Amino acid sequence: MRPTDFPRHLWPLSVHFYQNRLFLGRHDLADLAERLGTPAYIYDLPTIDHAIAAYRHGLEAWPGPGLITYASKAWLSLPLAQLLARRGLGLDVVSLAEMTIGLRGGFAPSMLHLHGNNKRPELLRRAVDAGVGAIVVDNLHELSLLESMRSAKDMRLWLRLNPDLLAPTHAYRQTGHHGSKFGMTWDDALAAARRIAAHPHLHLTGLHVHIGSQIFDLDPMLASIERLIDLAVAIERAGWGRIQALSPGGGLGVPYHPDDPAIALHTLAEGLCAGAADAWRRRHGGPLPTLILEPGRSLIARSGVALYTVGAIRHLSDGKRIIAVDGGMSDNLRPALYGARYTATPPRNPLDEAAGPARIVGPLCESGDFLIEEVWLPNVRPGDALAIPVSGAYHLSMASNYNGTLRPAVYLHTPDDLILLQRRETIDDLMRRDQPLSF
């Protein structure tokens, strides 16, 4: 492979070649795999900052206030929360654990937004007590829980609209169509707004929509924003509140594979914000609310590299190799869950000519335990490292202990340092909840 054929845009910004070796900053990735042990995940801080800057650039196309709120489902840990809180982002959380990590990471409670389609009473209570910035009401049942909660505290609520739009993405990532479990119909949203207006402690401050994830086509997203703005107009005309926050969710796509659209994040973010501004001017025209973008994937996917070590290699009669590595669906469920496609490279000789196609599989007892269905790779031998880019989002947050797999260590690469964010899980970690029989 010529260096110019290398899909540079899939790798963190700090990745570069030196003498046919792949480096992350000053670190040889193959050496790192040996030194750190594998599987290991490394996040590149300059790439995270670059994504934040792309969103900030995008928000300049919105003439009102704006906020970037990280969707922590993509991956959250205490140090990542600390990093993002220091950069002035908000945090989208869906559970008590995510909320607690966010708070301990230094987010002000007002910067947290609580999402989810089935928030239990205890979670709602804890969110109200913590004073989160918004509880995003997903359905009328949840509203009833909030109405009946005995609390003297004011509760700031957003309504999540189901705009009945099919996002152009995998069915499992569509969240805004009729039949989806998420969000309220137009009529339910109006009914909710009326009920909130009649309640002494509930305040409707925002509207939210999120039609899905890994979307490159802005049109359906802009259509969902138009419906949200129309809902704002209807609610305000009825006198049920003034919409101060407008959130079109997250969902912008990132390329994972050389064949994926390679649209720059700042172009997508700018198109989204400019389209939202235009829609607001045409359909509402009043003072601009705060536009709250909620990226998960596009904020951290590209910054993450997964490092594995090659083990058994099977040579099939058609020339294909089945290359087993030491991680799989336990740290990256996405290929099994929705056929996600990736590329890979041996960091030791990344520019060598491909020796043929290979299927990259894991060590787990499932035929669905694969990472890449087909990738053209140079010759690799047992013990060689293999690096998979675009591994930062929805890998570790969906990781499991299947077959007793211990979850990988996670590092942060900065221009000066390599910092451990999360140590590798241990067997003791795994057994911590077990209660030995006492009889």
Ligand X SMILES: Cc1ncc(COP(=O)(O)O)c(C=O)c1O
**φ, ψ for residue 160, nearest 5 deg:** -95, 120
**Cβ 296 to ligand X, closest distance in Å?**
3
What is the rounded CA–CA span in Å between residue 260 and residue 258? Answer: 6
What is the rounded CA–CA span in Å between residue 72 and residue 74? Answer: 5
For 90, residues 6+ apart whose C-beta sits below 8 A from its C-beta are: 67, 68, 69, 70, 107, 111, 112, 113, 133, 292
91 or 377: CB nearest ligand X: 91
CA distance to 16, 24, 27, 358, per residue, from 21 (Å): 8, 10, 10, 21
**Cβ 210 to ligand X, closest distance in Å?**
4
Reduced to 3 states (helix: H, G, I; strand: E, B; else coil), residue 253 is coil
**Cβ 381 to ligand X, closest distance in Å?**
36
**Cβ 116 to ligand X, closest distance in Å?**
8
**Cβ 98 to ligand X, closest distance in Å?**
12
Helices (runs of H) and strands (runs of E) counted in the chain: 12, 19
113 or 348: CB nearest ligand X: 113
Q: Is 365 a known active-site residue?
A: yes
In the complex, the residues that contact ligand X under the rule CB under 6 A are 71, 73-74, 92, 115, 210, 213, 249-251, 294-298
213 or 405: CB nearest ligand X: 213
179 or 287: CB nearest ligand X: 179
Type and span of the H or E element at 33: helix 29-36
296 or 346: CB nearest ligand X: 296
For 167, residues 6+ apart whose C-beta sits below 8 A from its C-beta are: 173, 174, 175, 176, 177, 211, 212, 213, 215, 220, 221, 251
Indicate which residue of 152, 365, 427, 437 is catalytic.
365
Q: Indicate which residues carry an active-site annotation.
A: 365
